[in-house]
Structure 1
Amino acid sequence: MKKAIIICCLWITGAFCSFAQSSRVDSLVQIVKLHPNDTIGSNALLGLVSEFLRVDFDKAKLYAFQAISLTDSLHHLNGLSASYLYLVALYQNSGRQDSARHYLGQLQMLAEANSSNWKLTANYNQSAGLYYKNQGDVKKALPYLLENLKFAKLNSEGTAGLYLNIGNAYFNLSDYRNAMHYHLEGLVTFEKVNSLRGQSFCLQSLGNDLFHLGQFELSKKYYQQAMKLKEQLNDKRGLITTWSGAGDVYKELMQYGLSEKYYLQAIAASREMKLPGEEMRARFQIGLLYKRMKKFDLARQNIDRSLVLAKQMGDSTGSAKARSELVGIALVEQSQKDDENTLVASLKTVTEAGDRNGEMVEYGRLSEYYALNGQYKKAFEYVKKYDQLKDEIEGVEVLLELRELEGQYQTEKKEREIELLKKDQELQALALDRERANVTIIAVVLASVVLTGFLLVNRYRVVARAKRTIEMERMRNAIARDLHDDIGSTLSSINIMSQLALKENNGHAGQYFQSIHEHSSKIMESMSDIVWSINPNNDSLEQVLVKMKEFAAEILEPKGIAFSFQGIDEVKNIELASEKRKNVFLIFKEAINNAAKYSNASEIVIQVAGQNGNIIFSISDNGNGFDPEKVKPGNGLKNMEVRAKSLLGALSRTSAVGSGTQISFEFPVT
């Protein structure tokens, strides 16, 4: 049951990390789409290269070429340099050495042409160091990496990566003291910046250091930690090297079944990801395993394949080791005794490359060769060289120093954990004090809130009552003003005209009665408008638009003028106070009346729109139009402007002879 729970937890963790990576890739792709022509997009492309570098080489190359095209067009030199750096690594790891050298040359020319830009120099040094290290020429690689220390920034991920690469270079020179020093520096820095991927690389490298010093159990611990992190990160390429390392450890612990399992996993994954360099190393190591198990056919078959891949990669050290090992297999089988030249050439190659561990192996193989051929003096000389170099590399002094380094790291790590624990305890104590203080404050605040709430509610009632009184007073004044202005003056006119009609004896009484009829109709219309404006059922702009349509139909249809409303659905749910509704309608009414009387138009378009909290009305006709400079505005237009100002808005008029007229007014909703 417990095992099932652990497996389930690991599966969930892996699924979560895969989701996180997928989510990051999706985010970067979206950024590229939104920024196809700027540095934000180019940086996102480089991020995609980094994401696929350890998962899918083909996709990584595709994004790298896109990044080169964009950074070159933008003259973004740092981005272009990073693109070249990625392509060197991609082509070298996939066995295409000519292409890798080409882009390394491009990187060098870019750095030399812009010598004042330290980032370009740092990128070239990093790329050259890793290129020559992977070529097996570690002596040539190390100076490039060490030079980059002067560009290093404290506690940064880039500096941690530099420590890791320098440590790996010293490891290939069999200088395990310096290798472990830089690997531990890298691990501590990666922990400080919380980079799990970087930590997994350093744990792997520390496992390698300890393995070559014969500390197999301690080495296994670091490999297992590295494997756990890489599985969590879904780092397929990283797992290949960890599986190979685990195979080495279990081989030395004589657990050959587990060793073979991990080697075969590494070979299968290398072939799947098209990584000839990783396959070469795994093939060579499993060949050594089969040799130890006395399965010589399988040993020769895998080391032969390792030799082919080393030649393909241009790895002279790998080729020399494979040839030497084939001779070693033949020596064990005692099937041939004439390969002295091959062994001497292999010794020369690994010595020139600075591979001291490989040099030690070749001394042992030559001593074995000469012993089998009866040349005991030479055999004894190479045994002494083997023992002397082994003592230098794996001596007690070195082991003690490396044990001290590893112990110091563990001690510092525990001290950091204790310090964090103390800080957590202090924070918890502070949180408890704050919680007690908060309880007191909350009690006081709660009492204050209750009292304040009571006062506010009481004040709100008073203010609301006052507001209602003021609003009622305003409405009464507005109704009185409208009755006086619109209806009172009209009733006075009717009274005068009726008296004239009664006294008139010359046959013109009919004209007075007609005027009375017109004025009374106007009164009825005004009364209707007043009643409509104060009716709360008409508060929405939709009701205003309905009344506008009715009025437009009443005025324009008898004259044969077509009309249409546009944009109603956009604003129909907006509510307006009665005063605003009345002014909006009266402005519209005046505009329609003017168009009907003077424009000779055949069509009128009324547009309504909402924009930035404002409402915009536009009444356009296709009539005669007029020259605004020659026609002075009458009372109707002045009234419209006054009403627009009372709405806290503005009114504009546009017209030209033969081009129709447009009246627009805009006002805020609130």
Structure 2
Amino acid sequence: MRNCYVLRIILFSFLTINGSVAVAQVPKSLDSLETYVKTHTSPDTNYVQAIISLAYELSTKKAAHQRADSLLQIAEKVSVQLDYGRGVARTYNNMGNTCYLTNRPKEALGHFQKALKIGEKYKLHPRTIALTLSNIAIAYSKLGQPDKVVEIELQSLQLQKQYNLKPLPSSYENIGHALKRMNEQKEAIDYYQQALAIKRTANNPYGMAITEHNIGRCYDDLNQEMPAISHYKTALNYILGSDYELLRADILGNIGLALRKEKRFQQAKPYLEQSLAIAIKQKNNESIGSGYFSLGRFYEEIKDYKQAEQYMKKALALANGDDDKANIALYTQGLADLYGGMKNFQQAYVFQLERNQRMDSTTAIRTSAEVQRMVAKYETEKKEARIKLLQQEAKLNQQQAERTSFRTNALLIGAALLLLLGVAVSAWLLNRAKVRRLEEAQQLRKQIAHDLHDEVGSTLSSISMLSGHTDTLLRQNQPESAQKMVQKIYSDARQILESIDEIIWTINPSNDTLHRIALRLQEYAQPLMESKNINFTFQVDPTLEETPISMEVRRSLYLIGKEAINNLIKYSQATQATVKFERSDTQLRVLIEDNGQGFDTSQQSGRTGQTSMKQRAQAMGGLLEVRSVPEQGTQLVFTTSLA
């Protein structure tokens, strides 16, 4: 579904700010503003207001963001020269608007915060301060921080109550949007309805269209398509014949998607195509990408996978070009799901793992579960196909043995008995090998399940508990505590992703060489060394490049190296470090050393994990030696046979 509707909330806030401070002498239409700015040469407050209003009209109605930005820079300069606080505040607010509409939420947040400081410095009207707070909340919403949205909007509502201001619909709308993002759609609808009532009183069709659109989105998320379509069409009626083309494109697209979910494909397609046509006409990349993606989902639904793939890839290319992280994640997930439906699990892997690297804490649990599902499905299909093949071979061998016994000649009964004995022994050996292979396959599946349980299970349980507690804190109006919980959830989710990535790497047969282990450790160690300003050297014997190694040995060796590197980073205080992979005849030697503070090996601390490293080395048939002297660095030497 579309996300562009978020852009429309902020525009209403600016419209209200602009309207609340407009000067009578300044014209209102776009053409008259153009004429006024060109002919008005006196740098006074009316000139500033006209420039800001013209920039607003160009940005919101024509998407001429570059020209709007140039005009606002002039407005900023003149306002500062005139010491015109209201003009400076309006300029920063509109600069934030332009940044927001061009997918630069961090810059938008900076401009809005500047506007707030100016408003407080010049003691501007509390309504202007409250609206600026709403704009700050909107920027936090775009940055994916719904807890901050609620915190800032509660400040705005408190200010409105303190000064007995006319209620601002944007405050209720933003809280509704934050609740929607936290999957509290029913509660969000209540806040949207309060915003809608205020806009009806003000007779603001554009604002009513935005809110009706958002209510439709909530019903869409609740899979109640009929009321969703009703609200979408009401929103569309409010802006018919207006200049707000991009909002119309969003609404048309969502009507098409709702009809698609209702399986009314013939009715859905024209809405989706109209939406895309408007976006292309307006040259708005985010809306164009959303239109491509919506049509891709449409064609996926009707099993036209080729068309679906083309449209989704176009959407992803546009998002990548604009570095639009939220839509990159959305479109990448869509392609992963598409390839999964096409049974192309290899491509599904690629896009799903790319999606994992871009996700935020609100989607970490769902995406981790999807990765586990794909891994399990892909590996299970391969193992089941292998088992089925082995069973067929066993059946054929049995049938062959039976045919051979029936063809034996009575005159050669002695030889036949001997032959039968040989066949029986051969069959026993063959079946024994096949059973071993089946056991290995079963052991691999158990290992994957065990690793997922150990690495992921407890962390997911923690995330689930923290999520529930976060909801409770938000309901109790404790946003700071809730934010800490969200940060913890984010950290745990990243840990799950790293664990799953290591499990997938471990079971991938293409990594069954010592050279691949060395590269993996180098990729792990390099950024850690750089973060501590350690001069790092990594050396690998070229003869190890094609040396094969089993999955279990590969995993144990990688974990030993990873633990040793972590200890070096945490405790050594070194300025130089070296990792070497060397081969001598049939012996592998791995050296990890540093010039750090060292320690007394006779008084080792249990925190370094040396016991577990030595146990892993012994399980591989190797030897791990730790050599260290205080103030003279540390050497860790692992040796094992390659035979």
Output the TM-score relative to the length of structure 2: 0.49
Output the TM-score relative to the length of structure 1: 0.47
